[in-house]
Structure 1
Amino acid sequence: MKSIVAVQFIAAVFFATAAHAEDLEFVLVNDSSSDLVEFNVSPASSGNWEGDLLDSGYLAPNYEVGVLIADGLQTCVYDIRGVFDDGSSVEDYSLDLCDLGEYTFLD
């Protein structure tokens, strides 16, 4: 696997700030054969996807990057969506990001 990409994405979604909320950190890995061109993380209680954390960038195959969710919420349970340049997408629901450590997209 290639080394960690030097850029760290920060998801400062700026929900209402909750006291004592902790930031959530994990490593995002693209082990698929396509570029990851959109990456969304939303609280599981939300009915909508939050903004693209790649911010018009992309994560190439065989690369990884650190992700920081600093939204001020006191929840650990989030949904994740990845969209790839080949038109495919993956959605994963109700993930405990407090215990995740790493999330890998595969073919």
Structure 2
Amino acid sequence: MIAPTVARAFAVCALVVATAFPAVAQDRHVKVVNKTGVTMVSLYGSNVGSDSWEEDILGGDELRSGQSVNVNFDDGTGYCKYDLKAVFADGDKVIKRGINVCTVGTWTIN
């Protein structure tokens, strides 16, 4: 009788671990789409509440209008909410605050 109880306990533990793991390892990939008609020259993302922008995500590359880039925001902190800033060749800037990168799959800039 002990063996079936132990087996059942292991099965329950395995189920709990399997359902808890996705909450810890959430997908933080966001597809950034440029539909502005102007080339994006820089893209920044920082945790909500940060006093400064992190390094340029594009790293010197450009994102022409009509193009997209997949960005992995998993920086090891576990944060899901980010402020994003896009800078364009004509000097315009678009800032979007509080984007939940764990739930938003695409950010399209028009």
TM range (shorter): 0.7 to 0.9
Q: Please, what TM-score do these two structures have when normalized by structure 1?
A: 0.76
1:94 aligns with 2:89: no
Q: Taking every aligned residue pair, what percent have the same amino acid on both sides? A: 31
Higher RCO, 1 vs 2 (CA within 8 Å, ≥6 residues apart): 1
Higher strand share: 1
Return the offset for 1:23. 5.3
Q: RMSD between aligned alpha carbons? A: 1.2
Alpha-carbon distance in structure 2 between the residues aligned to 1:23 and 1:98: 6
Q: Which runs of 4+ in 1 moved over 3 A?
A: 20-23
Alpha-carbon distance in structure 1 between the residues aligned to 2:84 and 2:109: 11
Q: Structure 2: 5+ residue runs without aligned partners?
A: 1-23
Q: Structure 1: 5+ residue runs without aligned partners?
A: 1-19
Residue correspondences, number: 87
Return the offset for 1:29. 0.2
Higher helix share: 2
Return the offset for 1:70. 2.7
Q: Please, what TM-score do these two structures have when normalized by structure 2?
A: 0.74
Return the offset for 1:105. 1.0
| Letter of the structure 2 residue corresponding to residue 34 of structure 1 | V
Alpha-carbon distance in structure 1 between the residues aligned to 2:92 and 2:29: 26
